[in-house]
Structure 1
Amino acid sequence: MNARTHYRTFQTTKRTAVKWGLVALFACLTFLIVPAQAKYATFVMDAETGKVLQNTNADTRNYPASLTKMMTLFMLFEALESKKVTLDTKMRVSRRATWQPPSRLGLKRGSHIRVEDAIYALVTKSANDVATVVAEHLGGTEWEFAKEMTKKAKEIGMTRTTFRNASGLPHRRQLSTARDMAKLGNTLWKRFPQYYSYFKTESWTYKGRTYGNHNKLMKKYDGMDGIKTGYIRASGFNLVSSVNREGHRLVGVVFGGKTATQRNNIMARILDQSFTKVDPQMMAAYQKKTKAKKEQRVQEVASKRRSTGWGVQVGAYGTYSKAERQAIAAVKRAPSYLSGAQTMVVPLKNGQKSVYRARVVGVEKREAYRACRALKKMRQPCMVFRAKSTQVALNK
C-alpha cells in the first residue's frame, strides 16, 4: 500500500468518525435542551360540528414529538394536490437526512425514495430521515420547510403551534397543544379524503423488510382509522385518533402518557365517554353488542378447550377432597393456560388402598406443557397426559 492509499484510507476513517461523532452530539444536545417533564392533556371533538366533548389542559403547549409528521404529510398532500409532485416522484436523500437519529429507515446518502414510499414510511415507521428528505425536497432546507409548516398551521387555526423541524425531534421551540393537534387531524380527514386512507395502513414492506404501524390501538378500538403516535422523553406518549362509529366521527388527542399502554387506555376511555355524550342510545347498544361478542368468544374458547384431548395431572392424593382442591388450585395458579378447562378427580386402586389423581383436562397440547412449566416453577408437581374421550369426572 503506497502513501497515497494510506492517506485516502486515513481521510475516509476520519470523515466517518466525525460524521458519527456529530450524530451522537446532535442526539445528546437535542435531548439536553428540552426539559424532561411531560405535560398531560386530552381533547375530543366532534369531527363534523367541531363541538368540544372532552377537554383537559387542551391549550397547554407541549412537545408534539412525531405528531409533527402529520403536518409534514399535510404539506406533502398539498404538493400532490397541486401537481408539484406525484406519487412516483423520486426525492434525493441528503447527508443531513442520513444523520437524523432513530427512528429512521436507514436511507443512504445520494439514494432516492418515492413520494408514496415516503408517505408509508412516515405513517408506519415514523422515520425521521424520511421526514428530512420530504422537507428538503419541498422547502429547499428543513428550516425553511418548518417555517412554511408553521404558516400553514396558523391558516388552519392552529394558533398555539410552532414548528422547527419536520420530524418532531426535540427542539425547545417546537410546541403545540392537544386542541391544535385535533384541528390538524380533523383537517387532514376533511381536506384530503383521497390520501387520508394512508393513515389506516397497518404494515408496509420496503426493500424486503416489513414495518408495522406504531398505532396499536387502531387494531383494538372499533372504528378507529388513524392517525398518528408520537414520543420523545420530554413529551411522553402522544396520540391523535380519528374514529367513526355509526356515522359519528370523533377526533381525540392524548398528550403526556407515561407509557404507550396507559396512553391507549386513556384514549379509549375518553372516546367512550364522548360517544356516550353524542349518542347515548347508540353507545349503550354498541356496548351491549360488544359484551355479547366477548361472551361468545369466551364460550367458543371454553368449548374448544373442553373438546381438546390434553390435560395435566397435578399429583395423586389419599383423599378425594384434597385431590379436588389441588385441581382447582392449579387452574387458579395458571389461568392463562387452564382457565375454562375441566377439573376432575380420577381414583386408582393401589392394592388395598385408593389414591385420587388430581387432573385438569380439555386444553391444547401446547397449553398443557406451558401450564406444567408454570406450575413447576411454583413447586407444584405436574405432568402432561393425553386424555381419553371417555374420561368423566368422578362426582363425590
Structure 2
Amino acid sequence: MAAVTTGFVVPAHAAAPVVSQATTRTVAASTAPAVAAKVAYLLDVTTGKPLFAKQATKRVPIASLTKVMTAYVVLREAGLDDVVRINADDVRHAATNDATSASLRAGERLTVRDLLHGVMLPSGADASHALARVYGPGEKKFVAKMNAAARSLGLTGTRYTNTDGLPKPSGGYSTAQDQAKLAQIALGDPVLLGITSTRRYTVAASKLHRAHTWTNSNKLLGKTPGALGVKTGYTRAAGYCLSFAADQDGHRFVGVILGDAKSERRFQTANRLLDWAGEQVSGTGDDQGEDGGTLSGDA
C-alpha cells in the first residue's frame, strides 16, 4: 500500500544499551555551544557518556515528542500490516484541537505501517488518535499502556496524559534525560529507526484510501550528516521541542531540546551540539572546571 516498507519482529521488551547514570551537575567548557532553550541534553550512546546537560532532569511538557512513546507502544500491540479504519472522531480530534494532522478522512483504511509514518513524519494527531482508539482500546487504556511502558523502561521523570502531547488533558511531563533514553531505545528498533529517518513517505491511492504524501518535520534530515531524525514538537506550554540523533565519526549521538522560543533555533542548536560532540570524542574539545553547561563525565 505504501512506497516505503520495512519489516521486523517487535521484541517483547526492547532493551537499550546501558547508559551511565550521571548527575546533571555542570562543568564549564569554553567550546560548549550556547543553548537558549530552557532544557537540553546530549548523550554519546556509543560510550554511554552524557556530553551536555541543561536542566536535564527538570519535568516539563514535551508536546509531540509524546508520539515517540505512542509509536513504541503501538509496535508492541499491533502488526505492521494490520488495517485501521479512520473514523470521524479521529479527524475531529485533530481539527478541534488545532493540531497537526496527516490529512486523514473518515472511512479511509490504512495499515499500521502507514499510520505510524503519519504519526511520526507530519505529527498527525488524527493518526495517533486512530491507533490509540484501536490498540488501547481507547485513549484512556492506551495512555495507561504508555505509562506502564515508561515505568518498565526506567523513565522515572515521565508521565503521559494523552497520545499526542496536546495540552488537554493537562498534567503530562517528561525530562530531556528520559526522552533521550526513549529515543535511544526507539532507534534500536529497526522499524522505528526506518520511520524516524524517512524524509518523505508516499501512500499510493487505492480502493481503501486516498493518496498521501508525508514530509518529515525534522529539518536535520538530508542536511546534517548521519541524521536519524526522531521527533519535533510544539505547543504554547512546551515551546519548540526536538528529539534528534545522528551517527557521526563512529559514534551515535542522541539529544533533546525542550522549551525553545524559536522554531528554527532548535535545529541550529542541535547542529552546534553535534559539531561540538564530534570535537569532544575526537579529543579536540576542552574539559574545564565547574559552572558551565556541559558534563565532564560520569559524575
TM-score w.r.t. the length of structure 1 is 0.57
CA distance in 2, matches of 1:256, 1:188: 22
Change in CA separation of 1:184 and 1:141 when aligned onto 2, cut-off 3 Å:
same
Q: How does 1:197-276 map to 2 (within 5 A)?
A: 197-206=194-203, 207-276=210-279
| Counterpart in the other structure of 1:153 | 150
**What is the one-letter code of the residue matched to 1:175?**
Y
How far apart are residue 196 of structure 1 and its match? 1.5
| Counterpart in the other structure of 1:98 | 91
Q: How does 1:1-396 map to 2 (within 5 A)?
A: 40-79=38-77, 85-101=78-94, 102-171=99-168, 172-190=170-188, 192-206=189-203, 207-280=210-283
CA distance in 2, matches of 1:110, 1:198: 25
Q: 1:123–1:201: 8 Å Cα contact kept in structure 2?
A: no
Bigger relative contact order (CA 8 A; separation at least 6): 2
CA distance in 1, matches of 2:153, 2:282: 28
How far apart are residue 162 of structure 1 and its match? 0.7
What's the % identity of the aligned pairs?
A: 31
| Counterpart in the other structure of 2:293 | none
- 1:175-198 deviations in whole A, cap 9, x for unaligned? 1111110000001122x1244111
| Counterpart in the other structure of 2:25 | none
**What is the one-letter code of the residue matched to 2:198?**
T
- 1:369-391 deviations in whole A, cap 9, x for unaligned? xxxxxxxxxxxxxxxxxxxxxxx
**What is the one-letter code of the residue matched to 1:112?**
R
The structure 1 segments of at least 4 consecutive aligned residues displaced by more than 4 Å after TM superposition are: none
How far apart are residue 279 of structure 1 and its match? 2.0
How far apart are residue 110 of structure 1 and its match? 4.2
Unaligned regions of 5+ residues in structure 1, if any? 1-37, 80-84, 284-396
CA distance in 1, matches of 2:211, 2:74: 25
Q: 1:238–1:263: 8 Å Cα contact kept in structure 2?
A: yes
Change in CA separation of 1:60 and 1:148 when aligned onto 2, cut-off 3 Å:
same
How far apart are residue 154 of structure 1 and its match? 1.4
**What is the one-letter code of the residue matched to 1:120?**
H
Q: 1:200–1:225: 8 Å Cα contact kept in structure 2?
A: yes
Q: 1:39–1:235: 8 Å Cα contact kept in structure 2?
A: no
SS at 1:166 equivalent: coil
**What is the one-letter code of the residue matched to 2:46?**
E
SS at 1:99 equivalent: helix
**What is the one-letter code of the residue matched to 2:109?**
H
Higher helix content, 1 or 2: 1
- 1:109-131 deviations in whole A, cap 9, x for unaligned? 34422111101111211100110
Indicate the larger mover: 234-243 or 210-219.
210-219
Q: 2:37–2:258: 8 Å Cα contact kept in structure 1?
A: yes
CA distance in 1, matches of 2:186, 2:214: 23
How far apart are residue 97 of structure 1 and its match? 1.4
**What is the one-letter code of the residue matched to 1:199?**
T
CA distance in 2, matches of 1:275, 1:262: 20
Q: 2:196–2:229: 8 Å Cα contact kept in structure 1?
A: yes
Q: 2:193–2:228: 8 Å Cα contact kept in structure 1?
A: no
Cα RMSD of the aligned pairs, angstroms, is 1.9
CA distance in 2, matches of 1:93, 1:208: 14
